[in-house]
Amino acid sequence: MRIIKFRNGNPVDKVNIEIFCAPNCNRCGRAVELVQDIISELNNSSIHWQKLNVVEEVDYAVSLGIRATPAIVINGQLEFTASPDKKMLKKKIEELL
């Protein structure tokens, strides 16, 4: 089951981060580490994250517009189509808390 929170008119009680990765993708591993580091720094239980295999979730990935990995989806919206720098990603997450 996918958790998708909408912002328009509905409160967002959690920040849901999905990291789409491909097998043997080195950049994907760095994206996962980046998300884990930021979550650890923020120390906020309202942040939920999961790593998804783009091959296994291809239909869902296509529906989001994902064409390359890593891709980071936040609250059901494709936000980053490559590994962002830490400052950009942290700012985006903080905006949603």
Q: Which CATH superfamily is domain 15-84 in?
A: Glutaredoxin (3.40.30.10)
Report how far residue 52's alpha carbon sits from residue 16's, in angstroms, rounded to the nearest whole number.
13
pLDDT digits (tens, 9 = 90+) for 77-93: 999 998 889 999 999 99
Which contacts of 80-83 are long-range, i.e. CB under 8 A and separated by 24 or more positions? 82/27, 83/27, 83/30, 83/31, 83/34
**Contact criterion met (CB below 8 Å) for 75 and 15:** yes
Q: Where are the domains of the chain?
A: 15-84
Backbone Cα Rg of the chain = 13
pTM for the whole thing? Answer: 0.84
pLDDT digits (tens, 9 = 90+) for 45-76: 889 999 999 999 999 999 999 999 999 999 99
pLDDT digits (tens, 9 = 90+) for 18-34: 999 999 999 999 999 99
Report how far residue 88's alpha carbon sits from residue 32's, in angstroms, rounded to the nearest whole number.
15
